[in-house]
Every structure is written in structure tokens, then in C-alpha cells.
Amino acid sequence: MLDRALANEYNAMQDASHLMRYELLKTSPRLTSTKKICETRDGDVARLIALNGKPLSPADEQKEEARLNALMSDPGKQERRKQAESEDTGRVLKVLRALPAAFMYRTRAQARARRERWRSSPSNRIPGFHRRIWRRRF
């Protein structure tokens, strides 16, 4: 079951024909931001729409509009952003491909539900940097 779910996610991440739009809420100890993200074939475009749960002030709205206009008028900047997104996607896909080897899974059928249980695999062969991430995360 996990293999099928990961294969679906892997295929969806590589499929540029199903572009999405969504809101991203980012929270840190001192700031919460909300952005509208639009995926395009040329890379994602993010527009800041709220800070700390409040809509942008007219001045902040103007700054955001200027930022987006600058991005549209600078092909080099767009290309750098697209390259960074491609690199990020590559890292995510690498981690997704490593998941089945990183953990041992056991499915337990219950009345009307399937329950997945997992634990770290002793033969975990995730390379270098990604292995350190898994050890910190789990």
C-alpha cells in the first residue's frame, strides 16, 4: 500500500499538466504569513496575502505588488527561482524514493479500516544528508 501511495505522489510531482493553486500558512515564533501559491510551468508564484492573520496594509500590499512586478520583468530572477524549485523537488523525490527502504511496515486489518505501523529499518540505506534528516525527524 505504501509503495502505491508513494508511486502516486512521485508521479503527481513530476506531472506538469495538473497545476494547482493553494494557500500556504507558515508559522515561526515571531511571524505567521499566509501566501497564495499558483503553480505554473515556469515555476511557482507566491503572493503574500496576510501577516499574523491580518490582511496586508496598503503599504505592504504595494510592496508585494512591486516585488511581483520585479519578478515578472527579470527573466534571470525567474530562471534562478525555477532552478531552486527544481533542486528542491529533486531532493523531495529522492527522499520519497528512499522511504520504503527506510522503514519496515506492517499492515494490520481491522474492522473497516487498515492500520499501518512502521519502525526504522535496521538495514536503512538512505545516503548521507538524507539519512541525517531521517534520524532527526524520526
Interval 83-101: pLDDT, tens: 998 898 888 888 877 777 7
How is the chain split into domains, by residue range?
A: 2-13+20-137
Between 74 and 126, where is the model more confident?
74
Encode burial over 53-80: b for 16+ CB neighbours within 10 A, e otherwise.
Answer: eeebeeeeeeebeeeeeeeeeeeeeeee
CB-CB neighbours of 28 under 10 Å:
7
pTM here is 0.60
- Structure confidence at residue 34 (pLDDT): 95
What is the tens place of the pLDDT at every residue in 33-62?
A: 999 998 888 788 899 999 999 999 999 999
Rounded mean pLDDT, 107-131: 58
Please name the amino acid found at residue 8. Answer: N
